[in-house]
Amino acid sequence: MTADTAGTGARILVVDDDPGLLDLIEMRLTAGGYAVTCAASGKEALERFRTERPRLVISDLRMDGMDGHALFAHLHAEAPTVPVIILTAHGTIPDAVAATQRGVFGFLTKPFDGRELLAKVAEAMAISPKVDASTGEDAGWRSGIVSSSMVMEELLRQARRVADADDPVLISGPRGSGKELLARAIHAASGRAGKPFIAIRCAELADLKPGASPLARALTAARGGVLLLDDIEELPPVEQARLLPLVREHTLFSAPIRADASDIRIVATTTQALDQAIRDGRFRADLFYAIGRIALNMPALAERREDIPALVAHFVAQTHGAARGLVPEAMAALQEAAWPGNVRQLRSVVEQTLALAVTPQAPVTLVRRLLREETERETAALDEARRTFEYDYLVQLLDSTGGNVTHAARVAKRNRTEFYKLLARHNIDPGRYK
C-alpha cells in the first residue's frame, strides 16, 4: 500500500514509552502510507509536536512523567483541532472513556488489530485538514497567508474545517492583522472558490442617503459566492435589519434583488468585541448571534512573532527580489518591535526600508528610525480613531436618550461629572438633542 493510495504522507506523532510497541505502531502506519514521528515521553512529544506539526497524535495513556492525560491537556490548549487517539490497556478503559468526554478523538485498547488502527487513523484524518502551505496541490487556498507559527496554523486548521460549510463566519482581530486574507483563504478552500468574492466596507454605508442600498447590490453580485462585510460593527441599523433574515433564515427582507438568498455565504470582520456595541444599542443582538455561529480570531502580529522573518522575506521578494535584504540586527529589531499596526505596518516598514537603503543589506539604524516614525503615526491614527469613535458614541447616545444627560451617563456607566467632561472634550452640547 503506497502513500498515494492510503495515508498520502500525512504526518502522525506516536507517543509511547514502550520501544517495542512504538516500533510496531510506526511499522503499521508507515505501511499504511503515513509519515511517522516517534516520541518516548510526553515531554519529547510536546517538542516534536511544535516542530513537526502533525495532523494526528497517538499516545499511550500510562507513561512515566507526563502521562497521556497531561499530554492531551497541553496539546488541546495549543491546537484543539488536532485529533488525539489514546492507547489504553483493558484496565484503564474507564480512564480512556473519560478522556473522550474531555475532547480526545477516540481510544484503542491494547493489543490492537492493525486494521482497526488504520481505520481509526483514517477516521481521524478525515476531520484533520492539511494546512501546510509548502506542499501539496491543496496548499493554494492559503497561499496569501505567510505563516508557520503554532497560533496561525491552528487558526488555519479551524478555517479549513469550516470552509465548505454555508454558515456565516465572524472573523475578529485588530486592524492590519489580515482578516480579509483569512476570509479569502476560506473562500478559496470552499466549493465556492470559482464564484465571486465581494467585499463591502460597512463604514462607507453610514452616510448614504435613504433608499440607497449598496448592500443589496453587493448581495446580487455575490450570488453563489461570498459577501465580505468589513467592520460589521459599522453597519447602519437599516442594513442590519436587511441582513438579519439572510443570515438567519436564508431569505431577504425588502431587498430589491432577485437572487437565491440561500446561495450567498456571509463572512464578516470586526476589530472590536461586539458585546459593547450591543449594549450601546449600535448592533443588533439577534444579528450577532446569527452571524457569529462560526467565530475565528485573527491574532495580532505581536502574538505570532516567529512569523516575522518569513513575512519580511515575502515582502522583500515581492518588492526587490533576492538581491536585497536586511542585516541580522535589523531583523532582530523588527522581531522585537511592538507592531500596533500589525502585518500592515510591518509591510510598510519593510517597503520603506528597502526604498531608502543605499546598500543591498539595509542597516539597523534605518529600520529603527522608520519603526519609530511608523509607530508614532500608527499610535496617532489609533488615538484619532478612538476620538472619532468616542464622539460618534456620545452623539448617538444623546440622540437615543433625548439629550437626557443623567440617563446617558447611566448607560455609559459614568457619573454625571465625568460624562460632562467627555461632552466638553468633544464640544458637544446635550441641549441640541432635546
- Express each pLDDT in 218-267 by its tens digit: 888 898 999 999 999 988 888 898 888 888 776 554 444 444 555 889 99
Q: Indicate whether 65 pLDDT > 50.
A: yes
Q: Indicate whether 76 pLDDT > 80.
A: yes
The C-alpha cell that represents 257 in the structure block: 434583488
Distance CA 325, CA 341 (A): 22
Opening angle at CA 172, ends 145 and 179, nearest 5 = 25
More confident residue, 160 or 260: 160
Of 116-120, 176-180, 200-204, the least confident: 200-204
CA dihedral (88, 153, 118, 1) in degrees, to 10, reads: -150
For residue 129, cis peptide bond before it (omega within 30 degrees of 0): no
Q: Identify the band that residue 107 occupies on the pLDDT scale cut at 50, 70 and 90.
A: confident
The C-alpha cell that represents 306 in the structure block: 516567529
Task: Please give the pLDDT value at position 114.
Answer: 87
- Per the CB < 8 A criterion, the answer to whether 45 and 39 are in contact is yes
Distance CA 235, CA 227 (A): 14
Q: pLDDT by residue (tens digit) across 161-200?
A: 999 888 899 999 999 999 999 999 999 999 999 999 999 9
Task: Please give the pLDDT value at position 96.
Answer: 65
What is this structure's pTM? 0.75
Starting at the earlier edge strand, list the strands of the sheet with 84-88.
Answer: 35-39, 11-15, 56-60, 84-88, 106-109
Q: Indicate whether 62 pLDDT > 50.
A: yes
The domains found in the chain, sorted by start residue, are 11-125 (3.40.50.2300), 148-297 (3.40.50.300), 303-380 (1.10.8.60)
- Per the CB < 8 A criterion, the answer to whether 55 and 29 are in contact is no
Q: Give the 3-state secondary structure of the chain.
A: CCCCCCCCCCEEEEECCCHHHHHHHHHHHHHCCCEEEEECCHHHHHHHHHHHCCCEEEEECCCCCCCHHHHHHHHHHHCCCCCEEEEECHHHHHHHHHHHHCCCCEEEECCCCHHHHHHHHHHHHCCCCCCCCCCCHHHHHHCCCCCCCHHHHHHHHHHHHHCCCCCCEEEECCCCCCHHHHHHHHHHHCCCCCCCEEEEEHHHHCCCCCCCCHHHHHHHHCCCCEEEEECHHHCCHHHHHHHHHHHHHCCCCCCCCCCCHHHCEEEEEECCCHHHHHHCCCCCHHHHHHHCCEEEECCCHHHCHHHHHHHHHHHHHHHCHHHCEECHHHHHHHHHCCCCCHHHHHHHHHHHHHHHCCCCEECHHHHHHHHHHHHHHHHHHHHHHHHHHHHHHHHHHHHHCCCCHHHHHHHCCCCHHHHHHHHHHCCCCHHHHC
Q: pLDDT by residue (tens digit) across 10-43?
A: 899 999 988 999 999 999 999 999 999 999 999 9
Q: Indicate whether 1 pLDDT > 50.
A: no
Q: Identify the band that residue 412 occupies on the pLDDT scale cut at 50, 70 and 90.
A: confident
Task: Please give the pLDDT value at position 329.
Answer: 93
Q: pLDDT by residue (tens digit) across 337-385?
A: 989 889 999 999 999 999 899 888 999 999 999 988 877 766 655 666 6
Distance CA 92, CA 109 (A): 9
Q: pLDDT by residue (tens digit) across 283-335?
A: 999 999 999 989 999 999 999 999 999 999 999 988 776 668 899 999 999 99
More confident residue, 355 or 392: 355
